Structure formats: C-alpha cells, structure tokens
Chain A
Amino acid sequence: MAPMDWLGPAEWNALALSLRVSFWATLVSLPPGILVAHALARGNFPGRQLLNGIVHLPLILPPVVTGYLLLLTFGTRGPIGGFLNETFGIVFAFRWTGAALAAGVMAFPLMVRAIRLSIEAVDPKLEQAGATLGASRVWVFLTVTLPLILPGIIAGSILAFAKAMGEFGATITFVSNIPGQTQTVPSAIYAFLQVPGGESSALRLVLISVAVAMTALLVSELVATRVARRIGGR
C-alpha cells in the first residue's frame, strides 16, 4: 500500500501543511535568531535584559495568549497586520502563512537559546585574532564565529522545526483549524478526535508525528557530530 493510500486526503493535507509551515517558520526565523542570539551573547547595550525577556516570552506565556496577541497585532485590523495587508497585500490571519508565523514565534526562544549557547562557547580571543589580521567585525563573524557555531545553528534549527511541527495552541487561536488551509497535524489530530470514528485517522497522524520527531532528532545528532569533527580538525 502506497503512503498516499494509507493516509486519507485530509490527513495527507495536514501533514504536507505541517511540513511546509515548519520549514518556512524555521527558515525565516533563522537570520533574526542568529542576530538576536549574537546580541544576547556578545552585546553590551541597555535593553539587553528586556530583549532577553521578550524573546523568552512565548516559552512562558500560555500558547493561547501568544496566539491571541498575534491575532491582535497581525490580524487584518491589527496595527502590523493591517499595515502589511494594505501596503504589501500580505495577510496572516486564517492563512497558512499565519500558521508559520505562530509556529516561528513559538519556536524562536528555543532556537535563540541553542545558538546563544554555542556563541558563548566560541573563544572571543579567536575573534580578536581575526580583527588583528584585518577582518572587520562583520567579516570576523562570517569567517570565524559563524563556522564555529554551525553545530549550534543546526541543533537550534532542528529544535525549532520539531517545536513548529508540534505547535497547537497559538496556531489554532491565531489562524483557526481550516482543513487544507490552516489545519496542521496537531490541529487535525484534535479535529479527528472530536468526531466519532476519527480515532484511526488520529492514530496514523500520531505515528507520523513520532516518526518525524525521531528522524529530526537523529539527523541533527548525525550532522552535529560531523560538523564538530570537521571543526575539531580530525
């Protein structure tokens, strides 16, 4: 039996949507994630603790609250959502892009934490050495810091991806649970469990969730050890 047949169309849609949402959520939050992690690890500016708090907020707040706050700010009538809609025609509310935004926001603190730890592990003396050899701060970051924190970036991305795959509360609050539009795997499992006879569909999605999570974990371990070995120079 081909996987297409094993999964019903609704289940298949949910899985495809979840993968797409998580992929974009991870990819788009990576550059700001590295930037914020670097600022928190190496920066020495007023507002540093405030930034740290804001980044970690989604980890502490109930997801429903985060979802509601997203709806207030990024909804079509919200200050940012309204502006994006009128100026660029970008709509988040009740679209898959909104699901990606919610997943990205929820995964952001995990990603920043992993990358921040790896930046703190880089010896600032190596960055000084780069500067004395003529590299500006940006070049030092690109040629010394970035390659050395690659394992942390990979770990942070996988963690963020896994978190995005499992994100439920903020997503359902912000973009609801529309099959084919915003119904990700967790939302679909929840929906299937609400209707009689939906248990088998729910169970199949649960198995897939477990498989995806395990694969992500294994791949991250594999890549991280490889990169670490290359950096260690053996």
Chain B
Amino acid sequence: MLHVSLRHALSGFTLDVDFTAPAGVTALFGRSGSGKTTVVNAVAGLLQPEQGRVAINGGDLVDTARRIWVPPHKRRVGYVFQEGRLFPHLTVRQNLTYGRWFSGAARDAAEFDRVVSLLGIGGLLGRHPGALSGGEKQRVAIGRALLSRPRLLLMDEPLAALDEARKSEILPYLERIRDEEDVPILYVSHSIAEVARLATTVVVLDGGRVVRAGPAADVLSDPEAVPAFGVRQAGSVLTGRVVRHHPDDLTEVAVSAGSLFLPGRLAEPGTVVRIRIEAQDVMLARSRPQDISALNILPATVSALRRGEGPGVVVQLQAGEDRILARITRRSADALGLEPGTLCFAITKTVSVAPVDIGTPG
C-alpha cells in the first residue's frame, strides 16, 4: 500500500495531490503536463518535493514535516522508465542482475529464470541493448526492475515510445505481472486504453490536482470524469466470461446482462475477460431493435446523465452488474425521454471493439 501526499510548485501550476494506491495496478492518468511524472519521481526519490509525505506499507520514504528523506538507492522501488534506460555497456543478463547485486539478496537462479520466462526474454540474454528492438528493450527494463526485488513498481508511460503493434505485444506481459507478482504497481499513462486494460484503481490528475480516484470500473464509468478522459476516448469496462467460439470467427462472452459477440477467437472458453467499450460506440433504443446489424444488445437502466457544453450527453447505464457509458446527442436523449430509471437497450457493433480493448480482469 502506497500513500502519497505532495505539494510542489511546477512551472505554471502547483502540484497538490493526495492519494492511496492499494495492491494491484494504480493508474495515474492525466494529460501530458498534468504532473504525473513529478509524482512518480517524488516516490522514487529522484525529486525532492517541497512539502509532503510518501510512505510504503506505513514506512516513510519522505516526510518533509519530520525531515525524513530516504535516498533513492535505499527505497527498493523498481522504476520502469519511458525510454527503458538500459545500461548500454552491459549485456541483457548483466542488466537484469544489476539490481540483485545491491539488494543484498542471495543469487536466486529460479527467480531469475521465472522472470525471464514471464517476460519471454530468454533468447536475448547474451545481447547488448543496442541490438534490441524497442519492445524487447522495454521488456528487459521491466525484468530489470522486477529482479531488484522492489516493494513497489513504478512505470512511467512504459509503452508511450512504442508503436501500436509493440504495445499490444507488451500489454499481456504487464497483465501477467499484475496478476502473478505480489508487488503493487503505480502506472503512469495518458492512454485510456492502457488504463482500462490494466488498472485496478484509477487516479485522474488534472492541472496538478486529483479530480477522480477509485476502483477502475467506477471511475471509468463515471459520467463526471468523462471531460478529464476526453469525450472521444471515454468508455466503460465490462467483465465477462468466454462461453464459446462460433464458426464464423466470433467469440461469445457472457456478461451479467446478457451475451456479447466479440471479433476473432479470444481466450479459451471459461476465461474471464475485461472489455472496454467506448462511449461513442454505444447507441441507445427504448425498445429492443429488430432487423439491425449490430449484434450486441443489452437491456439496461439509465442511472445518470451528464449534459456537456456541446451537443452531447453522456448517459450512464446499469446493465446487470456492469456499467456502460453511452455518448449520444442531447436531441436524442430528449426524444427518447431519457432520465434516471428509464429502461432501454444499449447497442454496440461487434467490430467496434478492438483487440487491444480486450484483456484479463486482474
């Protein structure tokens, strides 16, 4: 459990945050320049905050009031940087074992092999970082941080420097770390797709302040948080279980309110998956539509509406145990007479769910 409470003047605004990161992945979301990296650097000890306190599991790393300052090398905080920062003069194997050297831990070949196979970097051990691709570098950087036996992993936009293909190559490894490693992760990102895929807790920063914080499913489906995420990216996360693969290359997933058909052959039947559906991809109807090409129709109840400044309205719906966000026009909302408690149907096209939007629940 990480507790952060900071106040630090940055150019143009003052960072003033207070949040707690429980086990799992806590995503620190915000636009560039919202102070995310400053928070992470203060936790790692690369920046000395003007005022504040950082504590892991009750042990203070920084407390300006009590003049406590633990230097970075004694914090046991693994940091995965955006640009990897592998040591160019060392081989991949030497990079991976660098942290163990200083942690005082005994040489543990089993642990080394486990992390290497978790990240699929066994074939790279003899190479130098100069001979690795961007995605390979990032996996080695993650392994290097993990093998230093950290009490907390910090990841500062670890995928931002990679193209889409490399991103979807690494995301499953991050999910595995979240699910298999017993270490909390503070994950900085300005990509809502990554946040929706990985986060257990979401902290939204805007202009140096925490504007929303809480469990991922709650924050992502909160209509009031939509402006912070951006109307074109906002979307909710549903949890479901793969039922079966259909012969026409669709996967049927059972969610609490019914069935979804998703493109391609997803995980094996029985696997629990987490699906992000963007608010702008959801249509609403008062009666169950007939003769429509969209395959996913879930009965739902309107639970909240948020009228923005423009022509749009964000509607939050309760569909069984899941929440869905729909972004429609004010005109449509008025025509349908939507208000909290209205029964309606949420409609999504199968093809608007991208593979990157489907992950494991964590």
Docked complex: B71-122 residues within 8 A CB-CB of A: 71-79, 81, 83, 85, 87-89, 91, 98-99, 101-103
Closest to B154 in A: A132
- Complex contact B78–A132 (CB within 8 A): yes
- A interface majority secondary structure: helix
Q: In whole angstroms, what is the CA distance A28 to B127 when docked? A: 36
- Complex contact B88–A133 (CB within 8 A): no
In the complex, A191 has a CB within 8 A of chain B: no
- Complex contact A133–B102 (CB within 8 A): yes
In the complex, B135 has a CB within 8 A of chain A: no
Given A125-B85, A131-B46, residue A234 in contact with residue B102 (CB < 8 A): no
In the complex, B129 has a CB within 8 A of chain A: yes
Partner of B88, one of A128, A140, A231: A231
In the complex, A206 has a CB within 8 A of chain B: no
In the complex, A147 has a CB within 8 A of chain B: yes
In the complex, A16 has a CB within 8 A of chain B: no
- Complex contact B129–A133 (CB within 8 A): no
Among B76, B85, B148, chain A packs the most CB atoms within 10 A around the CB of: B85
Residues of A within 8 A of B101 (CB): 134-135
Closest to B103 in A: A134
- Complex contact B89–A135 (CB within 8 A): no
In the complex, A129 has a CB within 8 A of chain B: yes
In the complex, A148 has a CB within 8 A of chain B: yes
Residues of B within 8 A of A130 (CB): 87, 98
Closest to B79 in A: A132
* Interface 1/0 per residue, A78-121 and B, CB below 8 Å: 00000000000000000000000000000000000000000000
Q: In whole angstroms, what is the CA distance A129 to B144 when docked? A: 10
In the complex, A143 has a CB within 8 A of chain B: yes
Q: In whole angstroms, what is the CA distance A140 to B144 when docked? A: 16
Closest to A136 in B: B73
Closest to B130 in A: A233
Q: In whole angstroms, what is the CA distance A136 to B101 when docked? A: 12
Closest to A150 in B: B89
Residues of A within 8 A of B75 (CB): 132
**How close is B320's CB to chain A, nearest CB, in angstroms?**
43
Given A133-B148, A134-B102, A233-B131, residue A126 in contact with residue B73 (CB < 8 A): no
Closest to B76 in A: A134
- Complex contact A144–B87 (CB within 8 A): yes
Partner of B73, one of A134, A144, A232: A134
Partner of B129, one of A137, A139, A143, A233: A233
Residues of B within 8 A of A135 (CB): 73, 98, 101-102
- Complex contact A233–B79 (CB within 8 A): no
Residues of B within 8 A of A137 (CB): 73
Given A134-B73, A134-B102, A136-B73, residue A147 in contact with residue B46 (CB < 8 A): no
Given A234-B128, A234-B130, A234-B131, residue A132 in contact with residue B87 (CB < 8 A): no
Closest to B129 in A: A233
In the complex, B61 has a CB within 8 A of chain A: no
* Interface 1/0 per residue, A194-234 and B, CB below 8 Å: 00000000000000000000000000000000000011111
Closest to A125 in B: B85
Residues of A within 8 A of B76 (CB): 134
**How close is B221's CB to chain A, nearest CB, in angstroms?**
35
Residues of B within 8 A of A129 (CB): 79, 81, 85, 87
Partner of B81, one of A125, A134, A136, A139: A125
Q: In whole angstroms, what is the CA distance A140 to B75 when docked? A: 15
Residues of B within 8 A of A148 (CB): 88-89
- Complex contact A233–B127 (CB within 8 A): yes
Residues of A within 8 A of B103 (CB): 134
- Complex contact B73–A131 (CB within 8 A): yes
Q: In whole angstroms, what is the CA distance A231 to B87 when docked? A: 9
**How close is B140's CB to chain A, nearest CB, in angstroms?**
12
**How close is B30's CB to chain A, nearest CB, in angstroms?**
22
Residues of B within 8 A of A136 (CB): 71, 73, 102
Residues of B within 8 A of A230 (CB): 89
**How close is B180's CB to chain A, nearest CB, in angstroms?**
21
In the complex, B44 has a CB within 8 A of chain A: yes
Residues of A within 8 A of B131 (CB): 233-234
Residues of A within 8 A of B87 (CB): 126, 129-130, 144
Q: In whole angstroms, what is the CA distance A143 to B85 when docked? A: 14
* Interface 1/0 per residue, A144-161 and B, CB below 8 Å: 100110000000000000
- Complex contact B128–A233 (CB within 8 A): yes
- Complex contact B89–A133 (CB within 8 A): no
Q: In whole angstroms, what is the CA distance A136 to B71 when docked? A: 9
Other A-B contacts than A130-B98, A132-B73, A147-B89, 6 sampled, CB-CB below 8 A, are A128-B85, A132-B75, A132-B148, A135-B102, A148-B88, A230-B89
B residues near A (Cβ < 8 Å) are: 44-46, 71-79, 81, 83, 85, 87-89, 91, 98-99, 101-103, 127-131, 144-145, 148
**Would you mind naming 13 contact pairs between A and B with Cβ atoms under 8 Å apart?**
A126-B85, A131-B72, A132-B145, A134-B99, A134-B102, A134-B103, A135-B73, A139-B73, A139-B102, A140-B73, A232-B88, A232-B130, A233-B88
